[in-house]
Amino acid sequence: MGILEKFKLDGKVAFITGGSRGLGKAMAEAIAEAGGNVIVVSRNLGDCEKVAEEIEKKTGKKATGMKVDVRNQEEIEEAVKKSIEKFGKIDILITSAGINIRKPAEKFPSDEFSQIIDTNFYGTWYCCKIVGKHMIERRYGRIITVGSILSTVTLPERTAYSSSKGGVLQLTKTLAVEWAKYNITVNCICPGPFETAINEKIFKNPEIRKFFLERVPMGRFGKVEEVGALAVFLSSDACPYITGTAIYIDGGWTAL
């Protein structure tokens, strides 16, 4: 098989949480463009179905939308069951669902802190655990978790978010070690600043925008399609020896 053939995802099936917007949407679109079929998952069914319809029209690949709250194991189990019934398998899992709340540590309400941990960390764990069982049975899988540069570095007022994303990275490494024998790779994409909905509010502030850009050696924010390309690489059979690692897509932020 030639090298370019190894990047193709023809016949693969991807289950993508947070797939209706931002980086998740970009990864869903990229997977389909590379030949895969996709299940777009989020808490808003209408958004998922709209994105799935757009993907089908654009790529000709099968796509479906499902309403799932990743904090709820039962909802994930039901969605995974329906996905396997519809597509016969799940080859790729991308856990992109995530939220962020920025507040000083001493003023952070416990319920809001828990919301972030429940969504970002437990949501990732639940999806990996449930889809992972299916992949173990098939002895094949590609899992991509979504961390952040804040998995390893941090900023003020990010106690909950940084803690959740640090946990996602350690979860990724441990699952990679446990599941390597089943031909399952588990890797973590760690984005830097991207102009997505989760960051829209803060980037409207000129001072904050300047603060972030000054810390990116490339001098710009990331483009969502750049994350999509990385997701295709990690989902493909071009890199079966890469597992348990974090790939930073941050314009050089963490190199400083």
- Rounded CA-CA distance 121/98 in Å is 9
Give the active site residue among 122, 126, 140, 161: 161
The set of residues, in sequence order, having a beta carbon less than 8 Å from that of 244 and lying 6+ positions away, is 172, 173, 176, 177, 180, 186, 187
- Rounded CA-CA distance 125/144 in Å is 12
Q: Residues in the chain, how many?
A: 256
> What number of helices (H) and strands (E) belong to the chain?
10, 7
- Rounded CA-CA distance 168/145 in Å is 7
The set of residues, in sequence order, having a beta carbon less than 8 Å from that of 19 and lying 6+ positions away, is 25, 27, 28, 38, 39, 40, 41, 42, 48, 51, 94, 96
Q: Is 161 a catalytic residue?
A: yes
Q: Which two tokens stand for residue 189?
A: 């994409």
Instruction: Report, as residue numbers or ranges, the catalytic residues.
Output: 161
